Structure 1
């Protein structure tokens, strides 16, 4: 009798946990910043599955296509793994409940009750095993309903997930400086404003601010999106975010562009960085990326001189030193952590094309 009661209790816990995790992952959006968010089964499975993949991928050469293909495959594969986990927990959980209740005709073993649970969950209804008591008859309707709900939620989630992915990836094709090499923050600003007009830069960052808002909203609602990435390592969205953040930081030094759309982009980017690093101890990464005073001044001086040589009117150098330090303190520790954890490439490349700029007359 005690064994039967234990089976009912354990089975109920399995079903409740599976349904709660399913709803938390696919429906609710308010728990992604809670203190216990990493204790959900889906988060635990995702974290350990990615650790396993990461240990394999880290052994593959950085520039080999197989490396990025494996990383890009993980997102869709994770969704299948989680669906299997939710279904298994519910089927086995209900099987234990039916075995504990002992109100099923046609089987006496735990395995037989799990088989009956699976048939009921997928609403197949072979009829070789049937409930005889009131509670199992009512319960099987609940299980069948949960089977339909689970399937419906996953089907409804897929279009939303891939729409958010497309919204994130599509604008990256326009992140182009017109060259045949990697895009740099300076080359991007120079391409956006060839005549050193700060208003052109402001207009560009207005579009990218909307992009950052979409990412913050979609990745807050669906943290799984961080594992979805392009198969092309030259078009990684996190590398693009880092590139745009560095470009926006430089725009803050340009008179007429500072405190405009680049400022608002930086605020939206900070939302993304906070979201992606939630619950992570960034102190080791803060120490790892902190430059010496001499390194910082030399880096800012080089940046300052290049912007000035292009024709931009800049804020005083002392102001630039402080501004660059503040912005980099905001994002560099998180970016270093994400680069390491998600194995992000170092460079972002423009679309490869034979079309090049017409040389000046």
Structure 2
């Protein structure tokens, strides 16, 4: 039995070490089955409770702690797995029973030392365990600032978009508000910012996939819905005004749907990598006309009619619509306009129309 215990102990220690390195050390997308299972298992009860909530605010409040708690649980289970693995190794190289082996492994792993042995075989295992515990805890401590810095960077641009697109954001509302405020000349800057934002989110959220489940500070804000709104605004701008500057808008659209594809791969969500511009949309033409009416109401200039613009808009949206809808369903994002269905029937929330008030001239 001792060789079998030793082999099992080595497998547990090396498997847990692999999970730690993949999650905390390697600066690139590297999926860990351990962390994925822990996060998924913890999320199930939270999602089950959220599915029974009637209001968006209450559902968001239920789901908000799930992702942060998964980080804490992952650290605890990593240490527990290491303790089990080293206990198996302790038992394999000695005549210790299960209780004594776990006690000595825990004593070494947490550097307490109250059960350390003078036997050379056990001492070697104790040294390895004593080095493992502080290293794993230190890596986790260093991991959290990077994680929350990426979260803060993501949310800053999402919060800025609230005044430009309402809450929750909506593509036509972005163009309508820019037209209302006579800021159409600054649209290129908006798309330039969101091109960089999409690249940063792609990098951080594929490296640290748990960030995908981190929710915004307010239930009406969501990073995915914000990205979808910016992409829709870009597609509408290109479809209605083909003579306007296009480079920055096209780059933002490209960065946006590449970001969505990479995040879908990290979450194991399948998608069509080469959609046809002629593929149908889930967004209906009637909903498209409702968005166009909102833009026209605020004086957004249009070189084309809705009938002329629809094929081009559809050709752009087909690149990201299905992915955005799947991810929005997956993370149970706020049910915003043009963002697809959710896990439970929800009332679509549209931005409140702002009053066009200006200071009186003196």
TM-score range, shorter chain: 0.7 to 0.9
- 1:252-291 equivalent positions in 2, closer than 5 A: 252-253=238-239, 254-257=241-244, 259-278=246-265, 279-282=268-271, 290-291=280-281
Is the 1:308–1:314 contact (alpha carbons within 8 Å) kept by the matching residues of 2?
A: no
Gap regions ≥5 residues in structure 2: 338-348
The equivalent residue for 2:129 is 143
Cα 1:269/1:179, change in 2 over 3 Å: closer
After TM superposition, the structure 1 stretch with the greater mean CA deviation from structure 2, 239-248 or 317-326, is 317-326
- Contact 1:121–1:147 under 8 Å retained in 2: yes
2:80 is equivalent to residue 92 of structure 1: no
**Runs (5+) with no aligned partner, structure 1:** none
Determine the C-alpha separation between the residues in 2 that align with 1:302 and 1:13: 59
TM-score by length of structure 2 reads: 0.83
CA distance in 1, matches of 2:73, 2:282: 45
The equivalent of 2:44 in structure 1 is 51
Q: In the TM superposition, what is the alpha-carbon distance from 1:179 to its structure 2 partner?
A: 8.6
What is the alpha-carbon distance in structure 1 between the residues aligned to residue 149 and residue 183 of structure 2? 35
Does residue 1:357 correspond to 2:350, yes or no? Answer: no
Shift of the 100–276 alpha-carbon distance from structure 1 to 2, 3 Å rule, reads same
Q: Determine if contact 2:165/2:174 at 8 Å carries over to the other structure.
A: no
Distance 1:217 1:178, change over 3 A: closer
- Tell me how large the CA RMSD over aligned residues is: 3.1
Counterpart in 2 of 1:16? Answer: 14
C-alpha deviations, 1:55-82, integer Å up to 9, x for none?
A: 221111133x332122111111000111
Alignment partners' CA distance in 2, 1:159 and 1:350: 35
Distance 1:355 1:173 in 2: 20
Count the aligned residue pairs. 340
CA shift, 1:317, in A, is: 5.9
Counterpart secondary structure, 1:280 = coil
Contact 1:5/1:100 (8 A) holds in 2: yes
The equivalent of 1:340 in structure 2 is 329
- Which residue of structure 1 aligns with residue 310 of structure 2? 321
Look up the match of 2:27: 29
Q: What is the aligned partner in structure 1 of residue 141 from structure 2?
A: 155
1:235-246 equivalence runs, <5 A: 235-246=221-232
**TM-score normalised over the length of structure 1:** 0.83
Asked if 1 retains the 8 angstrom alpha-carbon contact of 2:165 and 2:351, the reply is no
2: distance between equivalents of 1:327 and 1:180? Answer: 23
Q: Distance in 2 between matches of 1:179 and 1:15?
A: 50
**SS class of match (1:175):** helix
SS of the aligned residue for 1:131 comes to coil
Give the C-alpha shift of residue 159 in structure 1. Answer: 0.4
| 1:69-80 equivalence runs, <5 A | 69-80=61-72
Higher mean alpha-carbon deviation, 261-270 vs 307-316, is at: 307-316
